[in-house]
């Protein structure tokens, strides 16, 4: 049995591989990365490091050869680029005749109105067309996505949002990684969909817990989308990024990330990291930077 992880030097991929190495012999683990030199540490541990570029399908044929299970971790970039890249990966997996494809999707992908959702719908559809047993690991939202806002709060700024009463199922990236690893090593995950979400909460609820962790009151400014965009511009967010941040706020406000599920606990065999503990961990990491 050989398991391959794509994007293994990325933020999520690194944690998935680290988790797998705790229970899987390195000789049974392969990684597909764009730049193999970034994975030399894994090679030194005995992991099979392969060069695979989602923009060069011919490299994927070699990277995915003789693989039993593959975890395709979604890439970064604009929607059109990501759909092309993911489709290349799925088609290469089919050519390699892998026995199982897991994919890191987004919550409620088939109906989600989040601007990123079309990428995940297209990828899920491509995987279904292969007829290969699959698992769609539908991740809600990484708590680490809010690090810039946490840094602002630590510097004395208020929490600014235009998400209104919209709720998000935040959880630590480590919990998502361990859930993905469980899918790759466990039995009975063929043709499954897992909605991985922490307890949905509003911005105010998250900030209230953050305030308790920090021992101070944190003001929350609810603004409209235009003002939110102006504030982001004022704090130095690059112009091309601002529409993306606004779109995320809109999607949250419209309920795209308000997903209630106990699938996390099913995969982990434990509750996810409590949000206060998770926030304390992130704050400590920020303080050490």
Helix (H), strand (E), coil (C) string for 204-222: HHHHHHHHHHHCCCCCEEE
What architecture is the 142-171+197-258+273-289 domain classified under in CATH? Answer: Alpha-Beta Complex (3.90)
pLDDT of residue 69: 98
| pLDDT above 90 (res 14) | yes
Decide: 143 and 278 in contact? Cβ < 8 Å.
yes
| pLDDT above 80 (res 285) | yes
pLDDT of residue 289: 72
pLDDT in tens, 115-139: 899 999 999 999 999 999 999 999 9
In whole angstroms, how far apart are CA 196 and each of 56, 57, 76, 91, 260? 31, 30, 20, 26, 9
Mean pLDDT over each residue of the chain, to the nearest integer: 96
**Which residues have a Cβ under 8 Å from the Cβ of 253 and sit 6 or more positions away?**
162, 163, 164, 165, 166
Share of the chain above pLDDT 70, in %: 100
CATH topology classification for 3-139:
Rossmann fold (3.40.50)
pLDDT of residue 287: 86
pLDDT in tens, 252-276: 999 999 999 999 999 999 999 999 9
What does the pLDDT average to over 75-100?
A: 97
- As annotated, the residues of the chain forming the CATH 3.40.50.720 domain(s) are 3-139
pLDDT in tens, 168-193: 999 999 999 999 999 999 999 999 99
> Could you give the CA distance from residue 60 to residue 187 in angstroms, rounded to a whole number?
26
pLDDT of residue 274: 97
pLDDT in tens, 186-219: 999 999 999 999 999 999 999 999 999 999 999 9
- As annotated, the residues of the chain forming the CATH 3.90.25.10 domain(s) are 142-171+197-258+273-289
């Amino acid at each position: 049995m050989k398991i391959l992880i794509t994007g293994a030097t990325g933020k999520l991929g690194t944690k998935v591989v680290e988790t797998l190495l705790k229970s899987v012999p390195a000789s049974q683990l392969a990684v597909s990365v764009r730049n193999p030199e970034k994975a030399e540490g894994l090679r030194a541990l005995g992991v099979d490091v392969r060069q695979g570029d989602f923009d060069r399908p011919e490299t994927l044929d070699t990277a995915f050869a003789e693989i039993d299970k593959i975890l395709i971790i979604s890439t970064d970039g604009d929607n059109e680029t990501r759909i092309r890249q993911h489709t290349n990966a799925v088609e290469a997996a089919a050519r390699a005749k892998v026995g199982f494809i897991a994919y890191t999707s987004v919550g409620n992908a088939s109906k989600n109105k989040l601007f990123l959702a079309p990428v995940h719908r297209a990828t899920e559809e491509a995987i279904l067309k292969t007829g290969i047993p699959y698992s769609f690991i539908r991740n809600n939202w990484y708590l680490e996505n809010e690090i810039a806002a946490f840094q602002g709060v630590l510097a004395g700024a208020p929490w600014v949002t235009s998400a209104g009463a919209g709720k998000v199922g935040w959880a630590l990236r480590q919990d998502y990684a361990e859930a993905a690893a469980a899918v790759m090593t466990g039995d009975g995950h063929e043709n499954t969909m897992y909605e991985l979400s922490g307890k949905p909460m509003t911005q105010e609820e998250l900030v209230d817990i953050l305030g308790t962790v920090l021992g101070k009151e944190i003001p929350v400014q609810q603004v409209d989308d235009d003002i939110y965009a102006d504030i982001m511009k004022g704090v130095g967010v690059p112009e091309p990024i601002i529409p993306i941040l606004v779109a995320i706020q809109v999607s949250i406000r419209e309920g795209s990330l308000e997903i209630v599920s106990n699938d996390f606990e099913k995969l982990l065999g434990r509750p996810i990291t409590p949000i206060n503990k998770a926030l304390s961990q992130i704050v400590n990491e920020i303080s050490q930077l």
